[in-house]
């Protein structure tokens, strides 16, 4: 069954990913048909074709490198570095106007943008799953002796702004806690937070994780995590918490009188207080309870730290129905925020931190693995299509924006750019683009390496044993 699930998820990823590419290239194809251009090939993916067929003089192909697609138009700028040489000898073709070139170039990003709107409309109907920890700005845990703890921040503090900019959510690009942290530029990060009725100001000196020379450089961290309601879902076998009477979906409010804001906070509390009794204040079916649990050190644990034996926690998810306009505008803003940080010499965010085709495919795979993943994948496709549209409009030869730029130069000069110069320019830019794609792929592949999985904790046998 697991193999079948992997195959099915992989097919879902390939279908959706290729749909994004197909629609973009379809825009170029239809515009070229409309303007009467000669079309040699319509290809999805680059490289040597693993499948191809010719219909009405147009070759349709599927390449070997899953990083985009193209429509081969010999009357546009030469693209042999990426598209390869055709099987048929070149034939003299009438020149086309600069306007025709601009229309064909713009059509691809336009179709991507229209597909983004279509996906956004779909999301507004089927909904977008959002967890409580994604949308909060309340701190759930502060790492002991971490940057935020040293500055004075505490669990339960509501973050209002970071680096002088307001925050409205925890994750994502834009007005989120995590983005404001990684995109900040000063030696310290100003944080404004609300504690009770008081508005407090903090100066946090961010930390960086150590990375190897071949790994992506670590971005700034404050070592904080979002607030999350404490509801255990599953327990380890012979769990001390379960044996003491804690049950799935009990709401844990506090431990020994200390209010809890996240599972991590409880875990750290237990580790710091050893095997002393942890008195948990709980709400079950609306009724308050107090359960005393004696933490235990798991059998054979390498850390030898005490634990309550809770395996998984519930991170409540609810469906939101954002309107299409807000989805698209948020995606556009996220793209501009990324470029703003990327081109700032003070920012830690560099070209190596962007993700390529491998990263995109892996994100889609992870989304589809989840039960509600299809909704997440549709929502993510809004962002992807907006990115595809905007990135292709950059005035870089080989990209659609480069074709537009060259067509404008041709219109001003009233004659085409020299074919020889154009060929050198396109080849050099194609090599640079391919080089960057390989550069990004080098880091993306590292992210695919399996991480260390949490060990199955084992505790001494008890009379009240949890059965998953």
Interval 367-414: pLDDT, tens: 888 878 899 999 999 999 999 999 999 999 889 999 999 999 989 988
Residue 453, pLDDT score: 52
- Residue keyed to tokens 């599972």: 263
Q: Which two tokens stand for residue 440?
A: 């990004």
Residue 80, pLDDT score: 58
Residue 24, pLDDT score: 94
- What span, in angstroms and rounded, lies between the C-alpha atoms of 308 and 273? 12
Residue 463 phi, psi dihedral angles, 5° rounding:
-75, -30
- What span, in angstroms and rounded, lies between the C-alpha atoms of 53 and 45? 15
pLDDT digits (tens, 9 = 90+) for 55-95: 988 999 988 877 678 898 888 866 655 555 555 555 677 88
Q: Quick one: which of 271, 448, 451 has its CA closest to 361?
A: 448
Q: Which two tokens stand for residue 126?
A: 């089927």
Q: Which two tokens stand for residue 300?
A: 């054979």
3-state secondary structure 379-409: HHHHHHHHHHHHHHCCCCCCCHHHHHHHHHH
Residue 467, pLDDT score: 56
Distances (CA, A) of 5 to 17, 18, 250, 371, 449: 18, 20, 32, 12, 20
Q: Are 37 and 24 in contact (CB under 8 A)?
A: no
pTM of the model: 0.85
Query: How many Cα atoms occupy the beta-carbon half-sphere of 236 within 13 Å?
Result: 20
pLDDT along the chain (468 residues), means of 10: 75 86 94 93 87 91 81 77 55 83 96 97 96 93 94 97 95 93 94 96 94 90 95 93 95 96 94 93 96 92 87 90 96 93 90 90 88 90 95 91 91 84 85 90 84 68 63
Work out the number of other CB atoms within 10 angstroms of the CB of residue 205.
14
Distances (CA, A) of 114 to 19, 32, 117, 205, 321: 13, 18, 5, 43, 19
DSSP-assigned letters across all residues of 241-299: HHHHT--TT-EEEEETTEE--SHHHHHHHHHHHTTS-EEEEEEETTEEEEEEE--BPPT
Name all domains of the chain by residue range, CATH numbers in brackets: 2-127+373-417 (no CATH), 131-225 (2.30.42.10), 232-315 (2.30.42.10)
């Amino acid at each position: 069954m697991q193999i079948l699930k992997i195959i099915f998820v992989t097919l879902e990823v390939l279908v959706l990913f290729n749909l994004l590419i197909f629609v973009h290239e379809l825009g170029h194809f239809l515009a070229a048909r409309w303007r009467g251009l000669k079309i040699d090939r319509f290809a999805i993916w680059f490289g040597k074709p693993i499948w191809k067929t010719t219909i009405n003089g147009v070759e349709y192909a599927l390449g070997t490198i899953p990083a985009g697609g193209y429509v081969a138009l010999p009357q546009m700028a030469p693209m042999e570095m990426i598209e390869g040489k055709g099987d048929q000898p070149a034939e003299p073709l009438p020149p086309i106007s600069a306007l025709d070139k601009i229309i064909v170039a713009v059509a691809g990003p336009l179709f991507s943008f229209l597909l983004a709107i279509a996906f956004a409309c779909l999301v507004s109907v089927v909904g977008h799953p959002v967890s409580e920890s994604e949308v909060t700005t309340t701190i759930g845990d502060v790492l002991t002796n971490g940057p935020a703890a040293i500055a004075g921040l505490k669990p339960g503090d509501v973050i209002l702004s970071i680096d002088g900019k307001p925050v409205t959510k925890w994750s994502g690009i834009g007005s989120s806690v995590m983005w404001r942290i990684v995109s900040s530029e000063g030696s310290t990060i100003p944080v404004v937070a609300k504690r009770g009725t008081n508005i407090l100001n903090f100066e946090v000196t961010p930390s960086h994780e150590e990375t190897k020379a071949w790994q992506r450089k670590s971005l700034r961290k404050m070592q904080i995590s979002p607030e999350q309601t404490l509801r255990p879902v599953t327990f380890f076998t012979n769990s001390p918490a379960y044996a003491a009477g804690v049950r799935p979906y009990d709401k844990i409010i506090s431990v020994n009188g200390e209010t809890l804001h996240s599972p991590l906070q409880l875990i750290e509390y237990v580790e710091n207080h050893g095997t002393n009794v942890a008195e948990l204040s709980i709400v079950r079916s609306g009724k308050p309870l107090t359960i005393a649990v004696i933490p235990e050190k798991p059998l054979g644990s390498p850390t030898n730290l005490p634990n309550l034996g809770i395996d998984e926690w519930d991170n409540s998810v609810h469906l939101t129905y954002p309107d299409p306009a807000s989805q698209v505008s948020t995606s556009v803003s996220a793209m501009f925020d990324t470029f703003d940080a990327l081109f700032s010499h003070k920012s830690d965010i560099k070209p190596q931190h962007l993700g390529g085709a491998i990263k995109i495919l892996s994100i889609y795979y992870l989304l589809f693995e989840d039960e509600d993943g299809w909704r997440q994948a549709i929502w993510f496709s809004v962002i992807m299509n907006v990115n595809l549209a905007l990135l292709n409009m950059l005035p870089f030869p080989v990209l659609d924006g480069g074709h537009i730029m060259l067509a404008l130069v041709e219109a001003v000069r009233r004659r085409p750019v020299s074919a020889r110069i154009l060929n050198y320019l396109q080849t050099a830019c194609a090599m640079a683009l391919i080089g960057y794609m390989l550069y990004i792929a080098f880091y993306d592949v590292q992210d695919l390496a399996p991480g260390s999985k949490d060990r199955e904790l084992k505790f001494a046998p008890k009379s009240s044993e949890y059965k998953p």
